[in-house]
Structure 1
Amino acid sequence: MAGSTTIERNRLWARLNTAVAAQETPFSSPLVVVDLDAFDANAKDLVRRAAGKPVRVASKSVRVPDLLRRVLARDGFEGVLAFTLREALWLEEQGVSDDLVVAYPTVDRGALATLVASPRAAAHVTLMVDDVAQLDVVDSVRSSTAVPVRIAIDVDAGLRIGSQHVGPKRSPLYDASGVLELARTITSRPGFRLVGVMTYEGQVAGLQDVVPTARARSMIVRGLKTASVAQLARRRREVADVLAEITELEFWNAGGSGSVESSGGDPVVTEIAAGSGLLVPTLFDHYRSFAPRPAAFYGLPVTRRPSPDVATVHGGGLVASGPAGPDRLPTPWAPAGLQVTTLEGAGEVQTPLVGHTAALLQIGDLVWFRHAKAGELMEHTNAAHLLAGDALVGTATTYRGHGLAF
């Protein structure tokens, strides 16, 4: 992985500290910094990997409107994959994008009422469904079907081996017949337009497959990925064939940062979703398919030295969602050579650090961490400070900084 050697991490430590020291304004903790050089390099690489198919940026993995604007201004990126309808409506209102697909079904009646009352928003936002009941919720908030609602169908993209299912537990729709039945309902129901399909193969896009400390497991993961790609290509073709009999789709969304090549290589797929590959959290460090550059960091000050070989920083407990385990903990990254302790881990108000570097840290020094996930870091700060070269060049307000909690 780029930027992972001890020398590179220590150079990053010096670079970040120098940039922060040059600023006169006091910083809050955690001090979140996005390295624009790495961010832009990762964006360029995602476009390269997509090989001509547009990349729809997954906002859940960014959560900073100015960074969304930055990446959408690049050739190769088109539209936003939002994680809630309220978020999509806000991004549309702010002019961040006029092409927003909500990745998850919604039963938020207030947000749905806003959508159906606005012809402009309804023309720019696509809802995700996998059940007729979700259409019923839309109809429950409107008195007229004059404003059509754009709909995409979420089709399960997991791998099935006998009775076993490997992959995210998302849509109940698996076979082409079930998808066709729902599609016919949508196309015949007043006030709805079927415009797209989504197949998110999380077992391919979201699993590291060359983890140095888990070689046997990585080999199994690579085998599952190969089987998933082959099985899903066949199922996508079957679904596409039956849908072509009743409608012409605008898009077929698939993949994620970890599966850009395999998803884009399927001729059925018209666009790739990606977001984590821009900021690169630690859960995306070990992929065979790409070598990203970490772009998001947060700095915490050393506030005490309980012993000569321990340095304690203020705060730090920014633990990622998902199955609880060591891989969900933040990683002390720069300087290199630090670890959290097994007894305290990453704490809400303090995090003791050990390792050969700990003895060299002084009170007031900054230790820079990486989060295990991308966008979740931005829920802990009002603004991300932007680093270009060796200097901080501005700030970008997060959703939280805008007073939003999606």
Structure 2
Amino acid sequence: MDDRQRYDRVTAHLNPPFAVLDLAALRSNASGMTRRAGGKPIRVASKSIRSRAVLERVLALDGFTGIMAFTLPEALWLVSTGLQDVLVAYPTADRAALATLAADTRAAQEITVMVDRAEHLDFIESAVADIRDRHEIRTCLDIDAGFVALGGKFRAGAHRSPIREADQAADLAADIAKRPGFRLVGLMAYEAQIAGVGDDPPGNPALTRAIRWMQARSQRELITRRGRIVRAVTQITDLEFVNGGGTGSIEKTTREKVITEIAAGSGLFHPRLFDFYRDFTGRPAALFALPVVRRPAPGIVTVLGGGYHASGAPGTNRLPQPYLPCGLRYDPSEGAGEVQTPLLGQAAEDLRVGDRVWFRHAKAGELCERFAGLHLIDGDRIVDEVPTYRGEGRTFL
């Protein structure tokens, strides 16, 4: 029985649209990620999961420790449910959440917030100024891991932190050390240009060569620069962790001696954007099903909904992939629509009203913003239905 037949049969009692998570694929992907990490722990990026129950399942597996959250309110909620060791990957300007953090003993012990300039420290101080008996705020320095060449005319990587050099990091570390109520516990540098850019894109040899050239040089530069930064900061204070990487760079980032943990999450679901890497392959684990509601012409079917575009620079690679049955494609004049999506191809001839088409989202956790729950499939049966963040009434962004 192929995957399409299995998914159709197992979910025959469900009315689409709905989303599923194939647990066998999830476990296989998790095993591949820990093998690539070479013994270093993986901190799970909650942004790529967005289901508390799934986070708990992953953290129960060997090799996964701690969470990388995307907002402080999310981190506070996760800790309130019993989860531990949550690093907030992005700076916060949420005064209420910061006040809650400073006033809550357990939250202050389990949550680390991100800073990359003195202005962040000033903001936190102002937000917690009225808290009596405030707890110490754990902080992490975010370092710019982008690749810069040609005298600054070329840049690859996410625009994150203004801190690039060891002296800049040391200055901010010294500032934190002097401020009562703060403790620097970690350092983070996310190499998006390696971890989030596939080095084996289809159909464009010139682009492939350019990406591989950039990534090889970026990796060499970052090994040296990140090492200098860690050495400079540890002259001022001891660090509990140095975090780096992402799903696409695990086996590269883990080779750096200064790295103590890897951040990753997308590889667990293995969405479409992670099909284009040379060094690893995964199994699609998270899928969603849409029903066929029209057959407007030969070779065309229309499914309900489907406009689940992924974030990032606009492009066709941000659209969900019509996955099963194979051979379906978008109408270039319509794409994926808010309420209906036409699909073209020979496979459309065999589809009837009420049949389902299975899709893969381009990015991992953003799928869960569209569905209240995930039906967990293990083999040939559904073993559970678990809520997403949305299903628990939580929308953090």
Range of TM-score over shorter length: over 0.9
2:63 aligned with 1:73: no
Cα shift at 1:181: 0.6
Query: Partner of 2:383 in structure 1?
Result: 393
Partner of 2:7: 16
Could you say which residue in structure 1 is the equivalent of 2:49? 62
Work out the number of aligned pairs and report it.
392
In 2, Cα distance between the equivalents of 1:290 and 1:146? 46
Structure 2 counterpart of 1:165, from 142, 145, 155: 155
Task: Tell me how far 1:146 sits from its aligned partner.
Answer: 4.1
> How many angstroms apart in 2 are the aligned matches of 1:304 and 1:12?
24
**Deviation string, structure 1 residues 122-159 (Cα, Å, up to 9, x no partner):** 01000000011111121112235741000000000011
- Select the residue among 117, 130, 133 that pairs with 2:103: 117
CA distance in 1, matches of 2:353, 2:322: 16
- Give the direction of change, closer, same or farther, for the CA distance of 1:301–1:146 in structure 2 (3 Å limit): closer
Tell me which residue corresponds to 2:144: 156
Name the structure 2 match of 1:4.
none
Gap regions ≥5 residues in structure 1: 1-9
Distance 1:13 1:397 in 2: 24
1:140-219 correspondence to structure 2 within 5 Å: 140-142=126-128, 143=130, 144=132, 146-161=134-149, 162-163=151-152, 164-219=154-209
User: What is the aligned partner in structure 1 of residue 116 from structure 2?
Assistant: 130
Contact 1:145 1:190 in 2 (8 A): no
Amino acid corresponding to residue 102 of structure 1 in structure 2: V
Query: 1: CA distance between counterparts of 2:137 and 2:321?
Result: 43
Determine whether 1:50 maps to 2:37. Answer: yes
Q: TM-score w.r.t. structure 2 length? A: 0.97
Letter in 2 for 1:113: A
Question: Residue 214 of structure 1: CA displacement?
Answer: 2.1
Q: Give the whole-Å Cα distance in 2 for the aligned partners of 1:94 and 1:215.
A: 48
> Alpha-carbon deviations, 1:212-270, whole Å to 9, x = none?
22222112111111111100010011111111211110000000000001110100000
CA distance in 1, matches of 2:215, 2:379: 37
The SS at the match of 1:357 is: helix
Gaps of at least 5 residues in structure 2 are: none
What percentage of aligned pairs have identical amino acids?
49
Q: Is 1:241 matched with 2:213?
A: no
Pick one of 274, 286, 303 that aligns with 1:284: 274
SS of 1:120's equivalent? helix
- TM-score where L is the length of structure 1: 0.95
Compute the displacement of 1:52 (Å): 0.5
Cα distance between partner residues in 2 of 1:93 and 1:137: 24
Is the CA contact 2:103–2:134 (under 8 Å) kept in the aligned structure 1?
Answer: no
Secondary structure of the structure 2 residue equivalent to 1:33: strand
What RMSD over aligned residues (CA atoms) do the two structures have, in Å? 1.1
